Amino acid sequence: MLLSPTKNGKIHDKKQLEKEGTIKNIPKGVTSWVDKGFQGLQKSSGNEKVIMMPKKKPRGRSLSEEQKAENALISGIRMRVEHAIGGMKRYGCLSQVYRNKNGIDDKFALVCAGLWNFHLKCA
């Protein structure tokens, strides 16, 4: 899981990923499992990156059974990521507005990630 620096205000995930150039640092052999919020990432990153994203239903048609099965597989993997994000947000410092010195909020995110990983090991 990638933990990028925090940004104040509203910014789309894909736009932040492209702005920071993170996608360029992912090695060729690594598969990125992303949600539909990253539409167009395959085109902007080049064909050498492996990006797994659920298929969108075509307008006026339905997905094939194979595409539905692939979406279910991707969703099952993404579910663990979403649970990790939700687990980290259980710590109030990530879900409240931060009003202190700049740079400490990134440390809060790292501490919350470590606490969530510790929770998973102990459970």
Q: How many angstroms separate the CA atoms of 76 and 102, rounded? A: 36
At 61 the pLDDT is: 92
- Are 9 and 42 within one domain? yes
pTM (predicted TM-score):
0.66
At 65 the pLDDT is: 93
Q: How many angstroms separate the CA atoms of 79 and 66, rounded? A: 20
Taking residue 96's Cβ as centre, other Cβ atoms within 10 Å add up to: 8
Query: Which residues are registered as beta bridge partners of 33?
Result: 52
- Are 112 and 65 within one domain? yes
pLDDT digits (tens, 9 = 90+) for 14-50: 888 778 777 777 787 788 888 888 887 777 666 566 7
- Are 42 and 62 within one domain? no
**Confidence bin at 66 (pLDDT 50/70/90):** very high
Residue 28: which domain range?
Answer: 1-53
- Are 74 and 17 within one domain? no
Residue type, 91: Y
Compute the residue count for the chain: 123
Number of structural domains found in the chain: 2
Q: How many angstroms separate the CA atoms of 75 and 69, rounded? A: 10
Residue type, 73: L
SS3 label, residue 103: coil
Angle at alpha carbon of residue 21, lines to 79 and 104, rounded to 5°: 75
At 2 the pLDDT is: 64
For the segment 112-121, the average pLDDT, to the nearest whole number, is 88
